[in-house]
C-alpha cells in the first residue's frame, strides 16, 4: 500500500526554466529559418541561371545555324545599343530581321526569337524583384576587330576571303538579385565565331 510520504511532488516548471526553454526554441527556429532561406536562395539562383543559360545557348544556336546557311547576311547598324541582323534565307523562306530588346531578349520580326522557349525574364523566383533578367549586349563584329585573332590573318592575303566571312557574335545577359537594399549582378556571356558563306563565295 502506497502512503502519502511515498508520493513525490513536483513544483512544476518555473518561470526561469520556461523562459530559457523559449529562448532556446527561438534560437533553433531562427537557425532553421536562416538555413532554409540560404538553401532556397542558392536553389532559386541555380534554377534561374540554368534557364538563362539554356535560353542563351538555344538562341545562339538558332542564329549560328541561320547565319551559316543564309543566302545573304547583313549586319545592321546598332538600334537601341544592340546590333541587328537581316538574314535572307533560301528561296521560299522568309527574311529574318533580328533585333535586341533589354526586357524581351532577342526578337525575330517583332516576335520572340525562339518558338519553344521564352526569354527568361518572367517565371518562378522572378516576381517582386527577386531576380531581374535583362539582355545587356548583343554584338556581331568582323573577326579582325579582335586583336587576339588579327595575327592569324596578318600578312596572309590568301586568307582574306576567309577573314572577311568570319564574325564574332557576343551576347551578355545580366541576372540581378536585390535583397535588403543591396544588389548583386551576375553576367552570363555567350560568344561564338560564325561563318557567312555568302561573303566567302561572293564573286
Specify the 3-state DSSP secondary structure of 151: coil
Mean per-residue pLDDT for 113-141? 87
CA atoms of 8 and 193, how far apart (whole Å): 86
Q: What is the mean pLDDT of the segment spanning 27-52?
A: 54
CA dist., res. 201 & res. 203, Å (int): 6
- Out of 33-42, 85-94, 120-129, pick the least confident: 33-42
What is the pTM (predicted TM-score) of this model? 0.74
pLDDT at 140 over 90: yes
- Model pLDDT, residue 45: 54
Tens digit of each residue's pLDDT (9 = 90 or more) over 167-193: 999 999 999 887 777 788 999 999 999
28 has pLDDT over 50: no
CA 104/CA 112 separation, integer angstroms = 7
Domain boundaries, the chain: 13-68+118-200
Amino acid at each position: 500500500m502506497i502512503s502519502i510520504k511515498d508520493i513525490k511532488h513536483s513544483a512544476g516548471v518555473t518561470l526561469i526554466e520556461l523562459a530559457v526553454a523559449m529562448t532556446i526554441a527561438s534560437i533553433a527556429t531562427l537557425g532553421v529559418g536562416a538555413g532554409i532561406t540560404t538553401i532556397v536562395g542558392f536553389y532559386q539562383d541555380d534554377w534561374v541561371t540554368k534557364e538563362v543559360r539554356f535560353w542563351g545557348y538555344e538562341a545562339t544556336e538558332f542564329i549560328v545555324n541561320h547565319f551559316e546557311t543564309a543566302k545573304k547576311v547583313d549586319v545592321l547598324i546598332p538600334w537601341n545599343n544592340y546590333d541587328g541582323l537581316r538574314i535572307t534565307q533560301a528561296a521560299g523562306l522568309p527574311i529574318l530581321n533580328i533585333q535586341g530588346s533589354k526586357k524581351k531578349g532577342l526578337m525575330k520580326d517583332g516576335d520572340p526569337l525562339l518558338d519553344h522557349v521564352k526569354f527568361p525574364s518572367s517565371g518562378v523566383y522572378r516576381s517582386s524583384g527577386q531576380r531581374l533578367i535583362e539582355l545587356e549586349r548583343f554584338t556581331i563584329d568582323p573577326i579582325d576587330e579582335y586583336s587576339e585573332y588579327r595575327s592569324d590573318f596578318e600578312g596572309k592575303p590568301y586568307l582574306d576571303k576567309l577573314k572577311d566571312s568570319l564574325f564574332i557574335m557576343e551576347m551578355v545577359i545580366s541576372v540581378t538579385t536585390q535583397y535588403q537594399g543591396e544588389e548583386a549582378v551576375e553576367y552570363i556571356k555567350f560568344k561564338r565565331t560564325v561563318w557567312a558563306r555568302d561573303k566567302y563565295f561572293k564573286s
